Amino acid sequence: MRKRPPLNPPEGGLLSHSLPLGQSPVGSGAIGERKRRRAKVGRGQQSKNNLRRFIRQQKKQYSAAELAAKSEIICNRVLASAWWQEAGILLLYYPLADEVDVRPLIREAYRNGKQVLLPVCVGDDLELRLYEGETSLAEGAFGIMEPTGQLFAPEKYNAVQLAIVPGMAFDRTGNRLGRGKGYYDRLLPKLTNARRLGICFPFQLLDEVTAEAHDISVHEVVQPLSA
Report pLDDT digits (tens) over 75-105.
999 999 999 999 999 999 999 888 999 999 9
Is residue 105 included in any domain, yes or no?
yes
What does the DSSP assignment read for 127-177?
EEEE---GGGEEE-GGG-EEE-S-B--GGGGGG--EEEE--SEEETT--EE
Number of domains in the chain: 1
Establish if 11 belongs to a structural domain: no
The yes-or-no verdict on residue 37 having pLDDT over 60 is: no
CA-to-CA distance for 105 and 119, rounded, in angstroms? 15
* CATH at 105: 3.40.50.10420
* One-letter amino acid for residue 220 of the chain: E
Secondary structure (3-state) at 113: coil
Judge whether 40 lies within some domain. Answer: no
User: Helices then strands (H, E): number in the chain?
Assistant: 5, 11
Which of 148, 142, 149 is CA-nearest to residue 95?
Answer: 142
List, in sequence order, the alpha helices (H) in the chain: 29-59, 64-79, 82-86, 103-111, 183-187
Q: Is residue 7 part of a domain?
A: no
Q: Is residue 44 domain-resident?
A: no
Binned at pLDDT 50, 70 and 90, residue 42 comes out as very low
Neighbours of 202 (CB within 10 A): 17
Helix, strand or coil, per DSSP, at residue 190: helix
The gap between the terminal CA atoms of the chain, to the nearest Å, is 6
Task: Tell me if 102 is assigned to some domain.
Answer: yes
CA 171 vs. chain centroid, Å, equals: 11
How high is the pLDDT of residue 97?
Answer: 86
What is the share, in percent, of the chain residues with pLDDT greater than 90? 56
Residue 123 lies in a domain: yes
pLDDT recorded at residue 28 = 37
How many residues does this entry show for the chain? 227
Q: What is the pLDDT of residue 209?
A: 87
Host domain of residue 131: 63-222
pLDDT of 23 > 90? The answer is: no
Q: Inter-axis angle of helices 103-111 and 64-79, to 10 degrees?
A: 30
Residue 43 domain-assigned (yes or no): no
Residue 222 has a CB neighbour count (10 Å cut-off) of 23
